[in-house]
């Protein structure tokens, strides 16, 4: 006769498969001052775009010793969450001692994380991929074929204005906002974003890498725009043809294009 009281209650815990999206931060220098200065500028330019994101640090190009303790402190000070590392030899060993986990992203999909030219007459100029915190930045296309990105399957409708500090995320689908998106508010969707009202905050479509996603607004005057990770911080006024007018934002050949909505007719 078995003693059932000796068996643990397995219902208290379970294992489920999961996919975690993380941003890869590629290091091109081991110089701590260069890294922290570049990090400060990147985060200033991006506003809150990267805040609270999980990141994987790619130091595979470096042979010089990295001050992991100081680098991790600087990243966390910007509300970034380092969860993994790619590095070689001693750098990998020292990173593991600081609590990072070795990961292999050789077969993982990636997305561009790039700022567009912010001059007022450059809506369709080429973008560059921010794949570094110091050193050279190169244009790199997303490695995931478009046909491998699952299209959005659901739609979230928000029929009220969004105030500063509010964030709405339509996971796995499109987002429709009927009302104003105020400065300081954020709207994020894995699919398309439609704003029937002034878009004055941040809008990020294709959050999980869908390069076919678009942003539609009846009155465009945003702080930040992003599609599949390619983003533009709006520091100067947009062109007169799109500012405070109906417009569409889309990716075209890895460039963020902002076009009058009537140009698509």
Q: Which pLDDT value is given to residue 255?
A: 86
Minimal CA–CA distance to 252: which of 240, 264, 236?
264
Q: Does residue 237 have a pLDDT over 90?
A: no
Q: Cα–Cα distance between 246 and 174 in angstroms, integer? A: 18
Query: Which strands make up the sheet holding 81-86, listed edge to edge?
Result: 23-26, 54-58, 81-86, 101-102
The pTM for the full model equals 0.56
Q: Does residue 116 have a pLDDT over 90?
A: no
| Residue-range domain boundaries for the chain | 23-102, 156-260
Three-point CA angle 123, 203, 130, nearest 5°: 65
Q: How confident is the model at residue 138 (pLDDT cuts 50, 70, 90)?
A: very low
The percent of residues above 90 in pLDDT, for the chain, comes to 51
Please say whether the beta carbons of 205 and 227 come within 8 A.
Answer: yes
Please say whether the beta carbons of 192 and 215 come within 8 A.
Answer: yes
Q: Picking from 123-132, 159-168, 229-238, which range would have the lowest pLDDT averaged per residue?
A: 123-132
Q: Of 3.40.190.10, 2.160.20.70, 3.40.50.300, 3.40.1360.10, which CATH number belongs to 156-260? A: 2.160.20.70
pLDDT top residue among 110 and 44? 44
CATH number of 23-102: 3.30.70.260
Q: Cα–Cα distance between 128 and 140 in angstroms, integer? A: 8
Summarised one tens digit per residue, pLDDT across range 29-88 is 999 999 999 999 888 877 666 778 888 999 999 999 999 999 999 999 999 999 999 999
Minimal CA–CA distance to 25: which of 47, 57, 48?
57
């Amino acid at each position: 006769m078995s003693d059932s009281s000796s068996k643990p209650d397995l219902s208290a815990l379970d294992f489920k498969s999961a996919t975690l999206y993380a941003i890869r931060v590629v290091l091109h220098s081991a110089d701590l001052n260069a890294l922290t200065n570049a990090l400060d500028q990147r985060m200033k330019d991006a506003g809150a775009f990267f805040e609270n994101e999980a990141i994987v640090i790619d130091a595979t190009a470096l042979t010089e010793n990295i001050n992991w303790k100081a680098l991790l402190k600087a990243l966390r000070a910007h509300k970034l969450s380092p969860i993994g590392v790619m590095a070689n030899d001693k750098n990998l060993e020292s990173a593991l001692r600081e609590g990072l986990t070795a990961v292999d992203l050789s077969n993982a999909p990636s997305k561009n994380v790039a700022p567009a030219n912010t001059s007022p007459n450059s809506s369709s100029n080429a973008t560059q991929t921010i794949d570094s915190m110091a050193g050279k930045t190169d244009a790199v296309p997303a490695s995931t074929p478009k046909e491998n990105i699952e299209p959005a399957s659901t739609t979230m409708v928000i029929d009220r204005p969004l105030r500063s500090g509010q964030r709405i995320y339509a996971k796995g689908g499109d987002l429709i906002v009927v009302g104003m998106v105020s400065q300081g508010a954020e709207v994020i969707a894995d699919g398309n974003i439609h704003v029937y009202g002034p878009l004055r905050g941040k809008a990020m479509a294709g959050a999980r890498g869908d390069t076919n996603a678009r942003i539609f607004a009846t009155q465009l005057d945003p702080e930040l725009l992003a599609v599949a990770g390619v983003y533009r911080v709006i520091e100067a006024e947009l062109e007169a043809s799109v500012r405070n007018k109906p417009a569409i934002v889309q990716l075209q050949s890895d460039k963020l294009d902002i076009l009058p909505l009537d140009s698509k007719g």
